[in-house]
């Protein structure tokens, strides 16, 4: 799903009373649509939770996203998570 569509969808879901947190790989795009909450991870496009086949890594990222919820002060806030892509070749 593209970053703009994801942010717009998050806004609609929030209007229905369901809390959302988006994961973005391109915060400069995400801030334009102002989703209620978004976490930025410095990973390649298509891999917002890490490498395929690495469930422990996926859980770590998802847990960090949930733990970031108290850090959101206003709609449109993007919190950068401390993870960096390290895979080589």
pLDDT for residue 1 is more than 70: no
Per residue in 3-22, pLDDT (tens digit) is: 778 888 988 999 999 989 99
pTM, rounded to two decimals: 0.86
Contact 27, 42 (CB under 8 A): no
d(CA 18, CA 10): 9
Per residue in 63-75, pLDDT (tens digit) is: 999 999 888 888 8
The three-point CA angle 31-36-37 to 5° equals 75
Per-domain residue ranges of the chain: 3-84
Per residue in 20-72, pLDDT (tens digit) is: 999 999 999 988 888 999 999 999 999 999 999 999 999 999 999 999 988 88
């Amino acid at each position: 799903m593209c970053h703009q569509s994801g942010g717009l969808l998050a806004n609609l879901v929030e209007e229905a009373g369901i809390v959302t947190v988006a994961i973005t790989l391109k915060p400069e795009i995400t801030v334009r649509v102002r989703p209620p909450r978004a976490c930025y991870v410095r990973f390649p496009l298509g891999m917002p939770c890490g490498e395929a086949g690495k469930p422990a890594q996926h859980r770590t990222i998802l847990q960090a996203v949930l733990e970031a919820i108290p850090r959101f002060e206003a709609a449109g806030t993007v919190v950068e998570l401390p993870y960096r892509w390290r895979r080589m070749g």
